[in-house]
């Protein structure tokens, strides 16, 4: 076996059979069929021509048996090849092309063996040449796969051996001589056929590798262009801000000189760092303790913006603290601020800030005190950063999954809303016509308004549910009725399943206890699993022959766990084509998808796995095969039903 390790899986070539793995072999066969079909048809016509033309030699060399030989040529071989030529225009020819070609070559060989046996001794010598010609013709010109070509050649040689030994009883010297030429010709043809096919398959691999690399280069180019554009925009904005800072710095320097002497005597005696900033954040004054904490000389700090020594990730945080003070006019105490000293060392500051005003009581800057609390906060800050980044990423992925689900379900929701709208419109028009005709019957109008009110409430319920589902909010755990959450999920996807003739069966345990969780997130998990089941059924239906068609269904079952009475189980079963063993191990990985490009993000099951883990539950593939797949979701029963319980308060495992 030779194997090419690339990001394009499946490049394993068996050097004995010259075949790839199943998926790659199918693609290779498709390409080879398209490339060689015209050549094969030409080869068939050529075979008919040459095999038929050589009939002239029959009449010349062996006239006494020419009719028998012509029967083989024109009664059997030529009609058979012509039939195969006509069959090559059928859609089914692709599946049987190699077998058909092998049959033609074998028939030609068997025919010539028969001619050798029928022709008188010595007159049959010219037909031996024809048999060798069949070998080379079949091995090279007919584009036969090596396996088929080798098998056909061996069958022809075997046919000759049987005929020469048991039929015509060929003398041993002649038999040995003929075998030498036949076996040599057969072996040379096999080597040539093997070499041609091996070269063709290697060229196919190289072409696929080249396509893969071209896609990578194209993707890298797009990413680079995007980064260049983004960086250019950042530089332009930074240049603008820098110009503004330079202008403000000039004004700040004048202010510093006026106030420095006023505060120096008091502030230089302080152990805490004291600072003053103008309204844009440029330092206008500081004491010696501040310069020691920050690690810059006074002349390097005065006029400089606080961002110069503030860690980039904390710049926004500091800005918001100053902005809150500016808006509220209330001082802020003890907010944390991380800086980067001139020598590159990172330090944590605990700062206070209050607003300064001019003589007209208008805000003109900020002042405050900072203390170095690095030793106390450094480890805690690192943990907070990691946890905050994780929760933010998880929230973005969950919200992305929600929006993707809503996009897929838009058609079904539109249909759900269209029905009540048509009812409302019809009753409103009927009421309007009655009023226009002067037929005002209070009782009739009241009856006509009832469906309008009922269907308006139905639409409001669907829209309110959709708005709640799409809203990004902080997760708060509370008692959840699993059965109701499943029913609510069908508000947005039920119509799509009906349009695809997918039967939905719900086996919901009405005595099921509540679980503690976040309804919005659990509905997203259910929607992801139902949507995946729908796509699996749709994909299977497209690939299933009509005679193998079966009813499409999705079954949802809720029940108490048989192994643990403190857990609730939800089973999602579909009639799709199942999940391969190779994909099963990656099914919950982020961005893994078996769908075509542009038809799936690969985040649905990954997000579902994270949500269920956050709820202290488990999600797994309980069963899969050609008959369909069953996903099992297990969740713990609620211990309390407080609506104020937050995610952080729950005694369950959090996704890290």
Three-class SS state of 574: strand
In a domain, 604, yes or no: yes
Q: Do 441 and 356 share a structural domain?
A: no
- 531 has a pLDDT exceeding 70: yes
CA distance 310 to 341: 9
Q: Do 49 and 177 share a structural domain?
A: yes
The pLDDT value recorded for residue 617 is 94
Confidence of residue 8 (pLDDT cuts 50, 70, 90): very low
- 465 has a pLDDT exceeding 60: no
In a domain, 424, yes or no: yes
Does residue 262 or residue 204 have the better pLDDT? Answer: 204
In a domain, 297, yes or no: yes
- 31 has a pLDDT exceeding 60: yes
Contact (Cβ atoms closer than 8 angstroms) between residue 602 and residue 482: no
In a domain, 252, yes or no: no
The pLDDT value recorded for residue 454 is 55
Residues 6+ apart with CB under 8 A from 533: 554, 572, 573, 574, 576, 629
Three-class SS state of 276: strand
Q: Do 363 and 400 share a structural domain?
A: no
CA distance 260 to 167: 123
Q: Do 508 and 605 share a structural domain?
A: yes
Does residue 630 or residue 241 have the better pLDDT? Answer: 630
Does residue 522 or residue 205 have the better pLDDT? Answer: 522
How many other CB atoms sit within 10 Å of the CB of residue 250? 10
User: Of 36-45, 543-552, 601-610, where does mean pLDDT reach its minimum?
Assistant: 543-552
In a domain, 232, yes or no: no
Contact (Cβ atoms closer than 8 angstroms) between residue 533 and residue 504: no
Q: What is the mean pLDDT of the chain?
A: 76
The pLDDT value recorded for residue 399 is 55
Domain encompassing residue 157: 2-217
Nearest to residue 613, comparing CAs of 484, 501, 475? 475
Three-class SS state of 454: helix
pLDDT digits (tens, 9 = 90+) for 190-216: 776 777 777 777 777 777 788 777 888
Mean pLDDT of 594-608: 67
Q: Do 116 and 195 share a structural domain?
A: yes
Mean pLDDT of 427-451: 66
- 106 has a pLDDT exceeding 50: yes
Confidence of residue 126 (pLDDT cuts 50, 70, 90): low
Handedness of CA 325, 327, 330, 335 (dihedral sign): negative
Mean pLDDT of 39-50: 84
Nearest to residue 576, comparing CAs of 526, 523, 623? 623
How many other CB atoms sit within 10 Å of the CB of residue 448? 18
Q: Do 481 and 447 share a structural domain?
A: no
User: Of 262-276, 613-627, 639-653, where does mean pLDDT reach its minimum?
Assistant: 639-653
The pLDDT value recorded for residue 375 is 74
Q: What is the CATH number of the domain that holds 330?
A: 3.30.450.20
The pLDDT value recorded for residue 548 is 57
Mean pLDDT of 442-459: 62
Mean pLDDT of 607-619: 88
Q: What is the CATH number of the domain that holds 545?
A: 3.30.565.10
Q: Do 397 and 427 share a structural domain?
A: no
The pLDDT value recorded for residue 175 is 64
Query: DSSP for 359-417?
Result: TTS-EEEEEEEEEE-HHHHHHHHHHHHHHHHHHHHHHHHHHHHHHHHHHHTHHHHHHHH
The pLDDT value recorded for residue 629 is 94
Does residue 250 or residue 560 have the better pLDDT? Answer: 560
Contact (Cβ atoms closer than 8 angstroms) between residue 208 and residue 8: yes
Share of the chain above pLDDT 70, in %: 70
Q: Do 468 and 493 share a structural domain?
A: no
pLDDT digits (tens, 9 = 90+) for 337-368: 888 888 888 888 888 899 998 888 889 899 98
The pLDDT value recorded for residue 644 is 40
- 7 has a pLDDT exceeding 60: no
Q: Do 162 and 132 share a structural domain?
A: yes
CA atoms within 13 A on the CB side of 620: 7
Q: Which residues of 157-191 are buried (b: 16+ CB within 10 A; e: fewer)?
A: bebbbebbeeeeebeeeebeebbeebeebbeebbe
Q: Do 516 and 590 share a structural domain?
A: yes
CA atoms within 13 A on the CB side of 581: 0
- 449 has a pLDDT exceeding 70: no
In a domain, 414, yes or no: no
Q: What distance separates the 2 farthest-apart alpha carbons in the chain?
A: 135
The pLDDT value recorded for residue 272 is 84
- 654 has a pLDDT exceeding 70: no
In a domain, 395, yes or no: yes
Confidence of residue 171 (pLDDT cuts 50, 70, 90): low
Number of domains in the chain: 4
Q: Do 164 and 71 share a structural domain?
A: yes
pLDDT digits (tens, 9 = 90+) for 467-508: 555 555 556 789 999 999 998 888 767 767 876 888 999 999
- 642 has a pLDDT exceeding 60: no
Nearest to residue 497, comparing CAs of 572, 602, 548? 572
How many other CB atoms sit within 10 Å of the CB of residue 194? 17
Q: Do 367 and 314 share a structural domain?
A: yes
In a domain, 242, yes or no: no
């Amino acid at each position: 076996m030779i194997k090419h390790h690339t990001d394009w899986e499946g490049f394993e070539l068996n050097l004995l059979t010259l075949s790839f793995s199943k998926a790659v072999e199918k693609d290779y066969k498709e390409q080879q069929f398209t490339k060689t079909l015209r050549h094969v048809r030409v080869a068939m016509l050529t075979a008919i021509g040459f095999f038929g033309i050589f009939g002239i030699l029959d009449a010349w060399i062996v006239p006494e048996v020419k009719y028998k030989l012509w029967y083989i040529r024109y009664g059997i071989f030529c009609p058979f090849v012509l039939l195969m030529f006509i069959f090559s225009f059928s859609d089914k020819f692709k599946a049987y092309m190699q077998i058909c070609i092998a049959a033609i070559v074998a028939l030609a060989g068997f025919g010539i063996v028969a001619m050798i046996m029928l022709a008188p001794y010595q007159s049959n010598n010219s037909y031996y040449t024809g048999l060798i010609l069949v070998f080379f013709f079949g091995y090279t010109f007919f584009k036969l796969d090596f396996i088929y070509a080798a098998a056909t050649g061996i069958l022809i040689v075997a046919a000759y051996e049987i005929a020469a030994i048991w039929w015509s009883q060929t003398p041993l010297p002649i038999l040995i001589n003929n075998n030498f030429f036949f076996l040599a010709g057969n072996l040379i043809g096999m080597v040539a056929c093997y070499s041609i096919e091996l070269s063709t398959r290697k060229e196919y691999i190289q072409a696929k590798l080249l396509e893969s690399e071209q896609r990578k280069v194209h993707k890298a180019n797009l990413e680079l262009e995007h980064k260049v554009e983004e960086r250019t925009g950042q530089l332009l904005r930074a240049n603008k801000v820098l110009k503004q800072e330079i202008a403000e710095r000039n004004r700040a320097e004048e202010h510093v000189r006026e106030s420095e002497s006023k505060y120096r005597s008091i502030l230089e005696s302080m152990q805490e760092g004291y600072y003053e900033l103008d309204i844009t954040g440029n330092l206008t004054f500081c004491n010696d303790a501040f310069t020691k904490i920050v690690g810059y000389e006074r002349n390097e700090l005065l006029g400089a913006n606080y961002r110069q020594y503030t860690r980039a990730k904390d710049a926004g945080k500091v800005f918001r603290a100053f902005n809150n003070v500016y808006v509220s006019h209330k001082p802020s105490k003890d907010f944390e601020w991380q800086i980067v000293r001139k020598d590159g060392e990172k330090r944590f500051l605990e700062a206070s800030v209050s607003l300064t005003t001019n003589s007209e009581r208008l805000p003109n800057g900020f002042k405050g005190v900072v203390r170095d609390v690095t030793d106390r906060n450094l480890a805690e800050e690192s943990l907070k950063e990691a946890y905050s980044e994780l929760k933010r990423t998880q929230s973005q992925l969950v919200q992305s999954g929600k929006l993707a689900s809503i996009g897929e379900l838009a058609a079904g929701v539109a249909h759900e809303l269209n029905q009540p709208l048509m009812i409302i419109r019809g009753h409103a028009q009927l009421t309007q016509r009655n009023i226009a005709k002067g037929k005002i019957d209070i009782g009739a109008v009241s009856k006509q308004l009832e469906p309008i009110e009922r269907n308006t409430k139905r639409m409001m319920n669907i829209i309110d549910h959709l708005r709640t589902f799409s809203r990004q909010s902080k997760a708060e755990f509370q008692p959840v009725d699993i059965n109701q959450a499943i029913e609510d999920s069908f508000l947005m996807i039920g119509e799509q399943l009906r349009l695809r003739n997918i039967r939905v069966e719900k086996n919901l345990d009405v005595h099921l206890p509540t679980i503690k969780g976040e309804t919005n997130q659990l509905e997203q998990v259910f929607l992801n699993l139902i949507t995946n089941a729908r796509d699996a059924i749709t994909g299977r239906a497209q690939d299933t022959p009509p005679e193998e068609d079966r009813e499409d269904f999705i079954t949802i079952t809720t029940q108490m766990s048989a192994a643990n009475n403190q857990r609730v189980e939800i089973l999602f079963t579909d009639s799709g084509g199942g999940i391969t063993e190779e994909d099963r191990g990656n099914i919950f990985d982020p961005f893994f998808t078996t769908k075509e490009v542009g038809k799936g993000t690969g985040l649905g099951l990954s997000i579902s796995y994270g949500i269920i883990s956050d709820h202290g539950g488990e999600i797994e593939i309980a069963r899969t095969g050609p008959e369909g797949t069953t996903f099992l979701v297990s969740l713990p029963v609620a211990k309390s039903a407080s609506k104020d319980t937050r995610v952080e308060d729950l005694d369950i495992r959090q996704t890290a």
